[in-house]
Amino acid sequence: MPSDADHHVAAPAAVEARHVVHAYGDVVALDDVSLRVPAGGSVALVGESGSGKTTLLRCFNRMVDPQHGSITVAGNDVKSQPVEALRRSIGYVQQDGGLLPHWTVQRNVELVPRLRGAGDAAVNAAGDALDLVGLPRAKYATRYPHELSGGQRQRVALARALAARPSLILLDEPFGALDAISRADLHEAFEAARAATGVTTLLVTHDLAEAARLCKELVVMRAGRIEQQGTIQDLNDSPATPYVTNLLDRALAGLERLKGLRSEARA
């Protein structure tokens, strides 16, 4: 059995969902959903609450086991290996970070490498990850989560997700709880980390602007179904449904007044 202590940087994985169906009691969360993300690609799942985007995301690390359909990561069905091994090769960031409050930043970030049996190599892996997200280890390693700001905590959560150099990273509204300025800072940190690692990315967000900025493609979801998958340009130029058009219209509406300021200033 291949050792869990994989010290090589994992190659980014292509992921696929095929005809996935999942219901919570009477409520259908995913209604025949199919999706493909190439290795190294980045896809944002956008939609309102209840659209099924979070449920779909959580299928990839088996936090949800769909009732029908298949999920594959790097060509392998997610059920073909022990669930812990699967999860240790996939990074995960929650909206509230989910840092362990009784552990230091260093220990939090070391979690996955240690679970994989890296031993002392985990220390450096964690340090590298902290550097990657813009939290110099010398300053932050020994701090506790409650001593950090919201933005700093999310950076630590991101570092923790990347510490074992996973082939795939899942983010569930990771910046939703932050103020606009911290969010902008985190966007920069995230882009830098992605550029450095090239990891396949699945990001759930309700913020279209964030989706467009951080990811190559968007997947618009509504009531458990995919409305359209494509670049933001595709969504704009050839919207598949009126819902997609509506979505873009609403996102742009807020920005119109601000855009007007810039053109006025130039005038």
Q: Which residues bind another protein (CB under 8 A)?
A: 61, 63, 84-88, 92, 94, 96-104, 111-112, 115-116, 144-146, 157, 160-161
Compare residues 177 and 251 and give the one whose CB is closer to another protein.
Answer: 177
Compare residues 56 and 208 and give the one whose CB is closer to another protein.
Answer: 56
**Which amino acid type is present at position 52?**
G
Number of neighbouring beta carbons within 10 Å of residue 151:
18
In what side-by-side order are the strands of the sheet with 27-37? 27-37, 15-24, 68-73, 76-77
Give me the DSSP letters along 180-210.
HHHHHHHHHHHHHHHHHH--EEEEEES-HHH
What minimum distance in Å lies between the beta carbon of 115 and another protein? 5
Residue 76, beta-bridge partner list: 73
Compare residues 96 and 207 and give the one whose CB is closer to another protein.
Answer: 96
What minimum distance in Å lies between the beta carbon of 34 and another protein? 24
What minimum distance in Å lies between the beta carbon of 6 and another protein? 13
Residue 37, beta-bridge partner list: 15
Token readout for 230 is 């494509």
Compare residues 113 and 127 and give the one whose CB is closer to another protein.
Answer: 113
Compare residues 96 and 131 and give the one whose CB is closer to another protein.
Answer: 96
What minimum distance in Å lies between the beta carbon of 91 and another protein? 8
Token readout for 228 is 């359209």
Token readout for 263 is 């053109």
What minimum distance in Å lies between the beta carbon of 81 and another protein? 11
Quick one: which of 2, 10, 6 has its CA closest to 200? 10
